[in-house]
Amino acid sequence: MPLPRRIVLVGPMGAGKSTIGRQLARELGYHFLDSDRMIEERCGADIPWIFDVEGEEGFRQRESAMIKELSEVGASVLATGGGAVMKDENHPFLKQDAVVVYLKASLDQQIERTRKDRNRPLLQNDDPEGVLRRLYELRDPIYTRLADVVMLTDRKSPRLVVRQILNRI
């Protein structure tokens, strides 16, 4: 089977989208695109600053514009932010020429991987675990619906996840 033109990784914070995406791109000789990092570069500020100054909606607008722009880049692996699926208008651009892979992580794994994180504004509050749980309940059906491949990541090394993705695309 020919390789897909793009591979798009979706899933919650702490699922390993950036780490796995970078390794997957290296294996395939594809460009690695990380939408959060590219939004930060474009804006000249980090994500906490964007949330602070422009609010979540300001960030989401930047995210939608970036997802649309990056849908044109072929031979690429795109790591999206956890909330990129929340705007329906993004869905056609996420799916365009792509195999969408849902990196699925248990709540425990998400909590473990985002502990003491300072760079994720949605988790800077008294109950980050509650936030992760609510987001998971809300978003899991959307990730699942969008995905061509659902890949469990719990207790797996990034290397193993990359190998399993390569076997499924």
Binding site residues, ligand S3P, CB under 6 A? 13, 17, 36, 47, 81-83, 120-122
**Residue 12 Cβ, how far from ligand S3P at the closest point, in Å?**
6
Shortest distance (Å) from residue 117 CB to ligand S3P: 8
Give the residue with the Cβ less far from ligand S3P, 8 or 47: 47
Residue 17 known to bind ligand:
yes
At a CB cut-off of 8 Å and minimum separation 6, what does 35 contact? 63, 66, 67, 70, 78, 79, 80, 81, 84
Minimum CB–partner distance for residue 96 and ligand S3P (Å): 20
Dmax (CA) for the chain in angstroms is 48
Nearer to ligand S3P, 27 or 56 (CB): 56
Residue 31 CA neighbour count, 13 Å, CB half: 13
Tell the residue number behind the tokens 């798009």, with chain if given. Answer: 8
120 marked among binding-site residues:
yes
Smallest gap from residue 83 Cβ to ligand S3P (A): 3
SS3 state of residue 149: strand
The residue ranges of DSSP E strands in 11-166, in sequence order, are 31-34, 76-79, 98-104, 149-152
CB 105 within 8 A of CB 15: yes
36 is in an annotated binding site: yes
Q: What residues are designated binding site for Mg(2+)?
A: 18
Q: What residues are designated binding site?
A: 14-19, 36, 60, 82, 120, 139
Q: What residues are designated binding site for substrate?
A: 36, 60, 82, 139
